[in-house]
Amino acid sequence: MKLIKKGAEADIYQTTWQNSNAILKIRKTKNYRNSLLDSKIRKQRTIKESQIISQVKSFGIPAPLVYFVNLKNTSIIMQEIPGKPVHDLSESKIIQLSKSIGKLVGMLHKNGIMHGDLTTSNFIFFKNNVYVIDFGLSQNTIKPEDHAVDLRLIKEILNSAHAKIMIPAWKNFLLGYKSVVGNANYVKITKLVSDIESRGRYAQVV
Ligand SMILES: Nc1ncnc2c1ncn2[C@@H]1O[C@H](COP(=O)(O)OP(=O)(O)O)[C@@H](O)[C@H]1O
Ligand SMILES: [Mg+2]
């Protein structure tokens, strides 16, 4: 088994499952957390991630198949998507894919799911499709405020990790998002995003 990424929360290994290439995602103990609470959180996120991956696949979001869930060591074995994280693509490709990403996020929200960790590393581009991964912080919620938090995060990531292309990428994201959720929802959620941002600025001033 080959370690391919040591994340803040989990270690990611390349492995196989019944002759298919697979990913083992194992959530690690955090020593700064109380150990009972820590194992509860790891268990909860492992369950959430596998449940929500299956849910989103059922309404057409490209996501890895879940092969096996082990709650004892809080790990998931899933299909490997052998593409590239959107984060690592060229700027012109990221601008172009932002519209598809907006559509995917729109589909999640329309189906009552908040992703909870919308970064460009959590979208993998493979065979002309964008796959969504990393659902450990996802929630079933139809609250517009929760959906606005998702948009606020991806906007912030574009602003920081992809500053040079932020404006066209965000414009395309919103075009895709609006085309799925419809104008009324779009107006409601983007207004909430502005509200969050103005609160943020106020908090920085004082
Ligand atoms: N199913 C998968 N197929 C291919 N690569 C994956 C898969 N799952 C995770 N990865 C890779 O590992 C990285 C971290 O995995 P992720 O689930 O996002 O965990 P973390 O919570 O540490 O961000 C991803 O950004 C991606 O590069
Ligand atoms: Mg991730």
Residue ending a domain, among 79, 110, 145, is: 79
Nearest atom in ligand 1 to 87's CA: 25
pLDDT tens, residue by residue, 136-193? 999 999 999 999 999 999 999 999 999 999 999 999 999 999 999 999 999 999 999 9
91 and 69 fall within a common domain: no
pLDDT at 206: 52
How far apart are the C-alpha atoms of 201 and 203, rounded to whole Å? 5
146 and 65 fall within a common domain: no
56 and 88 fall within a common domain: no
116 and 25 fall within a common domain: no
| Catalytic machinery residues | 117
Residue ending a domain, among 79, 94, 110, is: 79
Identify the CATH number of the domain in which residue 60 sits: 3.30.200.20
- Total domains present in the chain: 2
Q: Which residue range forms the structural domain that includes residue 75?
A: 2-79
CB 100 within 8 A of CB 171: no
75 and 114 fall within a common domain: no
pLDDT at 203: 65
Task: Give me ligand 1 centre to Cα 27, in Å.
Answer: 12
Q: How many CB atoms lie within 10 A of CB 30?
A: 14
The answer to whether the CB of 121 is under 6 A from ligand 1 is yes
The answer to whether the CB of 62 is under 6 A from ligand 1 is no
Task: Give me ligand 1 centre to Cα 14, in Å.
Answer: 10
Q: Identify the band that residue 205 occupies on the pLDDT scale cut at 50, 70 and 90.
A: low
72 and 116 fall within a common domain: no
